[in-house]
C-alpha cells in the first residue's frame, strides 16, 4: 500500500483572471476515493470524543465520581484556561513545521499515540476516594493532559481539512463526508457509553470493566484511524519554503478577517446549543419526562443527520452554503419549544418525532460550519499573504473547547442553583424538586431560542457565496505563483536550496494512489 503526492498544475502556474461575469473554473479533483475515505474516517475522534464528553462527562463526575454538580463544572472550566494558550500555540507550531511528511501529519501521528493514555486519566475510577480535594485535583490534571493531546490531534487535522485538496468543490464534498463520519462516531460512541454507564449503575458491570472499555476500547477506536490519516493522506495547498519567524501576534491574526469573525460566531451558536442540550437531555430523560430514552433521542438525531448528508452533498455544489446553514433553524427552535414544555406522565413517542425535527436545522448548521471553514482560510490567505490554516484551526478548536467547558460549567451551576439533588457514589437516584425540573426544561429552551436565533441572523449576513469562493481559488493560484510556494511535503527538502533551485533528478511524482 503506497501513496505519493503530485502537485497540481495549479500549484506552480499562475492563472488568468476569469472574465467579468463568468464562473471561475476549479482545478478539478485531486484525491483518490481511498484517500477521501481514510481522511473522512479520521474524524471519528472529533465526533466521538466531543459527543462522549458532552453527553456523559458531567454525569460521570456527578453520579459516578461523586462531585457536586457546581464543583464538577468548575473543574472542567479550570482546565480550559490552559486551552487559551494550548490551541492557538499548536496552530502556530504546525503552520511553521516543515518536514518531508508535511506540516500537519507528523503531529496527528504523535497525538494519536497519546490518545489512549490521555483517556486513561480522563475516565479514571476514583469514585471511592475519600478525599474530595484529591478528586478535584486529579480531575483537573487529567483534563489538562487530555486537552493537550486533543489539541495535538484536532488542530492539525482541522488545518488538513483546508489543504487536503485545492479544488473548492472537492474540498466541500470531502468535508461533508468527514462530518458524516464524525456524526456516525458521535452516535455510536454515545449509544455505547450510555449502555456501559447504565450497566454499571445497575450493577451488571464492574468498575474495572467499565474503565477498560472507556480508555482502552475508545482510545484504540479513536487512535487507529488517525494513524491511517497520518500515513495515507497528503497536503496539497502550497506553502512558503521558509516559515515566518515565530510571533505570538499570529494568534489574533485570524480575527482580522471579517468572514472568520462571523464564521466563529456562527460556529459558537450551534456548538454551545448541542453541548447544553446533550448535557441536559440525560437529566431530562431521568427526571423531567421519565420514560424518554436518551439512546433513542441521540439515535434519531444521528439518523436524521446521516440521511441529510446525501442531500447536503448535492446542495453544496449548487446552493450558497450559508443558505443551507440557516434554512432549517426555525424548525429546530419550534421543536425545542415543544420538547421543553412536553408534559410528564404521558406517552413519550412524540418527543422522538420532535427530536427528529429539531435535528434537521441544527445538524445542517453544524455540518456546514466545517464545509465553510476552508473558504474562510482561503479568504485569510488572500488578505494576509500566507496560509496560516493552523492558526485559524487553533482558534476554532479553542472556541469549541472553551464553549464546551462553559456549557458544562453553566449546566452544572444551573442544576446547583435550582436545587438538583445528586446521588453520592453507590447511592440510589434521588427525587428532584420542582425547581430543578424547571431548571432542566428552561435551560434547553432558552439556549436554543437565543443561540439558534442569533445563528440564523448571522448566517444571513455571511458574504462568501459560491461565486466568491470560486473566484478566491483563481486568485490564490496567481498569488501563490508570485510568492514562489511549494508543496508542503517538499518544503523541508526545498528549504535547503535557494528559491528556484532543485537537486539533480528532482521531479514531480505521480498522482496519489493507494
Q: What is the pLDDT of residues 425-453, one digit of tens each?
A: 555 566 778 888 899 999 999 999 999 99
Better-scored residue on pLDDT, 347 or 190: 347
And the C-alpha cell for 109?
501521528
* pLDDT surpasses 70 at 260: yes
Q: Up-side HSE of residue 222: CA atoms within 13 Å toward CB?
A: 31
Which of 318, 309, 5 minimizes the C-alpha distance to 165? 5
CA pair distance 358, 2, nearest whole angstrom: 44
CA pair distance 61, 460, nearest whole angstrom: 39
Instruction: Evaluate whether 480 touches 36 at the Cβ level (below 8 Å).
Output: no
pTM of the predicted structure, to 2 decimals: 0.70
Residue 508 pLDDT class (50, 70, 90 cuts): very low
pLDDT digit string (tens) for 346-358? 999 999 999 999 9
CA pair distance 198, 55, nearest whole angstrom: 13
- pLDDT reported for residue 425: 53
* pLDDT surpasses 70 at 11: no
Q: What is the DSSP string of 488-499?
A: HHHHHHHTTS-T
pLDDT digit string (tens) for 364-402? 898 899 889 989 988 988 888 878 888 888 788 777 777
Region for residue 505 given its phi and psi (left: phi exceeds 0; alpha: psi -120 to 50; beta: otherwise): left
CA pair distance 77, 321, nearest whole angstrom: 33
- pLDDT reported for residue 212: 86
CA pair distance 177, 186, nearest whole angstrom: 14
Distance of CA 499 to the CA centre of its chain: 37
Residue count of the chain: 514
Instruction: Evaluate whether 155 touches 397 at the Cβ level (below 8 Å).
Output: yes
pLDDT digit string (tens) for 331-345? 999 999 999 999 998
Phi (first) and psi of residue 239, to 5 degrees:
-130, 165
For residue 307, the SS3 value is helix
CATH 2.40.40.20 fits 36-494, yes or no: no
Instruction: Evaluate whether 183 touches 122 at the Cβ level (below 8 Å).
Output: no
Which of 155, 166, 156 minimizes the C-alpha distance to 375? 166
Instruction: Evaluate whether 130 touches 261 at the Cβ level (below 8 Å).
Output: no
Which of 356, 298, 269 minimizes the C-alpha distance to 55? 298
Kindly state the helix (H) or strand (E) to which residue 4 belongs, with its residue range: none
Handedness of CA 399, 401, 403, 406 (dihedral sign): negative
- pLDDT reported for residue 492: 59
- pLDDT reported for residue 107: 96
- pLDDT reported for residue 286: 85
For residue 353, the SS3 value is helix
* pLDDT surpasses 70 at 243: no
And the C-alpha cell for 294?
436518551
Instruction: Evaluate whether 367 touches 176 at the Cβ level (below 8 Å).
Output: yes
Phi (first) and psi of residue 474, to 5 degrees:
-70, -45
- pLDDT reported for residue 473: 83
Instruction: Evaluate whether 124 touches 143 at the Cβ level (below 8 Å).
Output: no
Kindly state the helix (H) or strand (E) to which residue 260 belongs, with its residue range: helix 258-283
b/e sequence 231-257, b meaning 16+ C-beta within 10 Å? ebbbbbbbbbbebeeeeeebbebbeeb
* pLDDT surpasses 60 at 312: yes
Please list, in sequence order, all residues whose beta carbon lies within 8 angstroms of the beta carbon of residue 33, skipping any fewer than 6 positions away. Answer: none
And the C-alpha cell for 293?
430514552
CA angle, 159 then 163 then 164, to 5°: 110
Region for residue 270 given its phi and psi (left: phi exceeds 0; alpha: psi -120 to 50; beta: otherwise): alpha
And the C-alpha cell for 390?
493552523
Which of 303, 312, 35, 44 minimizes the C-alpha distance to 181? 44
* pLDDT surpasses 70 at 19: no
Structural domain spans, the chain:
36-494
- For the chain, how long is the longest CA-to-CA vector? 79
What value does the mean pLDDT of the chain take? Answer: 81
- pLDDT reported for residue 467: 87
- pLDDT reported for residue 334: 96
Amino acid at each position: 500500500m503506497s501513496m505519493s503526492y503530485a502537485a497540481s498544475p495549479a500549484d506552480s502556474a499562475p492563472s488568468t483572471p476569469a472574465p467579468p461575469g463568468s464562473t471561475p473554473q476549479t482545478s478539478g479533483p485531486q484525491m483518490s476515493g481511498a484517500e477521501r475515505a481514510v481522511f473522512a474516517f479520521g474524524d471519528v475522534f472529533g465526533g466521538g470524543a466531543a459527543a462522549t464528553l458532552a453527553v456523559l462527562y458531567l454525569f460521570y463526575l456527578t453520579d459516578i465520581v461523586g462531585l457536586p454538580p457546581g464543583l464538577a463544572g468548575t473543574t472542567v472550566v479550570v482546565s480550559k484556561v490552559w486551552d487559551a494558550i494550548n490551541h492557538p500555540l499548536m496552530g502556530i507550531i504546525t503552520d511553521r513545521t516543515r518536514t518531508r511528511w508535511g506540516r500537519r501529519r507528523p503531529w496527528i501521528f504523535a497525538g494519536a499515540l497519546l490518545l489512549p493514555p490521555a483517556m486513561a486519566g480522563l475516565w479514571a475510577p476514583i469514585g471511592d476516594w475519600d478525599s474530595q480535594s484529591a478528586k478535584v485535583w486529579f480531575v483537573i490534571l487529567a483534563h489538562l493532559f487530555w486537552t493537550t493531546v486533543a489539541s495535538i490531534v484536532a488542530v492539525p487535522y482541522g488545518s488538513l481539512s483546508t489543504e487536503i485538496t485545492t479544488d473548492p468543490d472537492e474540498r466541500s464534498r470531502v468535508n461533508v463526508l468527514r462530518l458524516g463520519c464524525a456524526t456516525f462516531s458521535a452516535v455510536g460512541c454515545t449509544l455505547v457509553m450510555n449502555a456501559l454507564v447504565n450497566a454499571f449503575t445497575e450493577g451488571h458491570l464492574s468498575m474495572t470493566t467499565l474503565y477498560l472499555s472507556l480508555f482502552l476500547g475508545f482510545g484504540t477506536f479513536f487512535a487507529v484511524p488517525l494513524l491511517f490519516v497520518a500515513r495515507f493522506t497528503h497536503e496539497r495547498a502550497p506553502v512558503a519554503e521558509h516559515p515566518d519567524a515565530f510571533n505570538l501576534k499570529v494568534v489574533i491574526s485570524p480575527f482580522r478577517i471579517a468572514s472568520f469573525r462571523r464564521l466563529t460566531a456562527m460556529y459558537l451558536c450551534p456548538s454551545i446549543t448541542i453541548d447544553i442540550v446533550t448535557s441536559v437531555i440525560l437529566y431530562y430523560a431521568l427526571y423531567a419526562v421519565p420514560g424518554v430514552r436518551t439512546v433513542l433521542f441521540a439515535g434519531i438525531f444521528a439518523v436524521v443527520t446521516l440521511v441529510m448528508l446525501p442531500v447536503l452533498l448535492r446542495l453544496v455544489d449548487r446552493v450558497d452554503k450559508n443558505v443551507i446553514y440557516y434554512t432549517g433553524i426555525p424548525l429546530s427552535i419550534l421543536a425545542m419549544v415543544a420538547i421543553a414544555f412536553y408534559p410528564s406522565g404521558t406517552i413519550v413517542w412524540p418527543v422522538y418525532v420532535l427530536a427528529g425535527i429539531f435535528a434537521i436545522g441544527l445538524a445542517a448548521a453544524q455540518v456546514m460550519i466545517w464545509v465553510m471553514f476552508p473558504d474562510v482560510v482561503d479568504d485569510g490567505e488572500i488578505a494576509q499573504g500566507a496560509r496560516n490554516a493552523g492558526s485559524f484551526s487553533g482558534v476554532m478548536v479553542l472556541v469549541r473547547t472553551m464553549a464546551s467547558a462553559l456549557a458544562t460549567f453553566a449546566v452544572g451551576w444551573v442544576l446547583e442553583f435550582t436545587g438538583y439533588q445528586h446521588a453520592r457514589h453507590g447511592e440510589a437516584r434521588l427525587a428532584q424538586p420542582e425547581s430543578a425540573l424547571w431548571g432542566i426544561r428552561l435551560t434547553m429552551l432558552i439556549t436554543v431560542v437565543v443561540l439558534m436565533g442569533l445563528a440564523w441572523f448571522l448566517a444571513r449576513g455571511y458574504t462568501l457565496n459560491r461565486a466568491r469562493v470560486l473566484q478566491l481559488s483563481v486568485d490564490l493560484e496567481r498569488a501563490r505563483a508570485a510568492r514562489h510556494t511549494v508543496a508542503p511535503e517538499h518544503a523541508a527538502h526545498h528549504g535547503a536550496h535557494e528559491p528556484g533551485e532543485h537537486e539533480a533528478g528532482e521531479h514531480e511524482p505521480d498522482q496519489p494512489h493507494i
